A and B are shown apart, each in its own frame.
Chain A
């Protein structure tokens, strides 16, 4: 195998494929990137079995072939080459990476050991890449990172007649985002860790998505991201969302985030932030016995059955939810200080963030 291409283009494709090389596997060959050259294209594949990134680019081909090269070293070596053309080729059992002057000689990994990656089969549906990436970003904040509870580390992809719904929860909060008109068939629990990599690895204006029995496949002009589905039953989330909320306040998202930023100077996670919703907006209060406190008022529009209602939240969870809302305004809907509250963007919002209040 021998190819030549611009340094920056090679560095980009290697770094994207490297995103699939995680710290989870102990299999040595999975530390490598499979580089395959045929026709006028270089195909690069990185995988940890759970997530696979495969991307291609047009290169100047001197010799076809395939080789597995240690991923991190390959990406770093190419990135540190002088600007301009870089040649990568195999010679005498080694991989040469040659720039304008520097020359790396790297021992390849055993190509035979690299897992076979099945080619994508089945039709996918085309979705707006930016909308999908934004929707993913909105829900993954609620997914757990604790692998001891794998089901909660996934995002539920649920299709319906109206479109596609993405749902994530770590049991403390729940994020739901509807993508109207996206006719993706099937239901599956897709790892949030892999979904977070979608914009960086294959992000593009148009993405084709497909949900198979065992994997979710996302493709664009920049490559393919395959994510192995998580097995298990996702919590029955529909019954968790109350049907109505008697009290609500609409406030500026930026105001809330700035206030919560100030709150975080005083409060650690275990110190709740109190919100008193009443006519004129929200009074925010945080008190920490050994440190002090902070109070402020956020102007907003309150409507409610009660003259005022007080509710407290974990400030980080609240900030995650508010930050995930699109648009300038945030609506906080409250029943009382005990039952779940909802953070969303107001009427017609396609996103809701359900959050349990903290007992005070």
Chain B
């Protein structure tokens, strides 16, 4: 990963033409050849970028980035303020949202938080559409599919509905209840869940973490 902070102007020619007037910017050159020009604002989106594969040619005070599609990015370097290169190594890839994964772990240890008498059958119960976060059984013996999200939105309800529909095909499990669990469930998701015959639960993640941290274990796992 090469990071260059420079006073520069940028010109792009391709699907359209664009010009960035002279200013101090961050130019990122990634190991795979991607080039991105960032301003000091905005979360992630660069002002201009070129996806790999690219060819970067460096001339005196000028960088020229071209790709096979005929696009061209010209960065005129008026003043280079910093130029560093770091080897970031192998990336482990995107993992499941940390909060979701931890919430699942906490609820697996305390399924009764969702409902009195609730017991865990297993985590990541496999279905043909992918694993449902937790399969439980309620106090009356009915199977419960639990999908855990950080925020309960409409897509989470739809995902749970598909799992429940699938699990209902299994006579050992049917009829299956479905519960969407999240720190916060949006009103739209709540309405859709009700319409689909599903339930929603908001759980206190911080509270659950508090139990975990405040309840020391007898031994380390």
Contact = CB atoms under 8 A, between A and B. Distances in A.
Interface of A: 21-24, 26, 31, 70, 72-73, 144-149, 169-174, 235, 240, 268-270, 272, 314, 316-317, 340, 354, 356-359
A147 B214 contact: no
Contact of B218 (A72, A173, A272, A359): A173
B122 to A, nearest CB: 5
Contacts of B113: 268-269
Interface of B: 105, 108-113, 119-123, 125-126, 135, 137, 143, 170-173, 204, 207-208, 210-211, 214-219, 221
Most chain A C-beta atoms within 10 Å of own C-beta, residue among B135, B173, B216, B217: B216
12 contacts: A22-B121, A24-B121, A70-B171, A147-B122, A172-B215, A240-B219, A268-B207, A270-B204, A270-B214, A356-B218, A358-B215, A358-B216
Contacts of B108: 145-146, 148
A359 B210 CA distance: 11
Contacts of B173: 23
Given A23-B121, A269-B110, A356 B216 contact: yes
Contact of A359 (B111, B170, B208, B214): B214
A177 B177 CA distance: 37
Contact of B123 (A146, A170, A314): A146
B123 A356 contact: no
Most chain A C-beta atoms within 10 Å of own C-beta, residue among B108, B110, B125, B211: B211
A179 to B, nearest CB: 23
The 6 closest A-B pairs by CB, nearest first: A270-B211, A171-B217, A146-B108, A270-B207, A270-B210, A145-B120
Contacts of A171: 217-219, 221
A60 B37 CA distance: 86
A38 B45 CA distance: 75
A340 B112 CA distance: 24
Nearest to A70: B171
Contact of A148 (B110, B112, B123, B137): B123
Contacts of B126: 26
B172 A235 contact: no
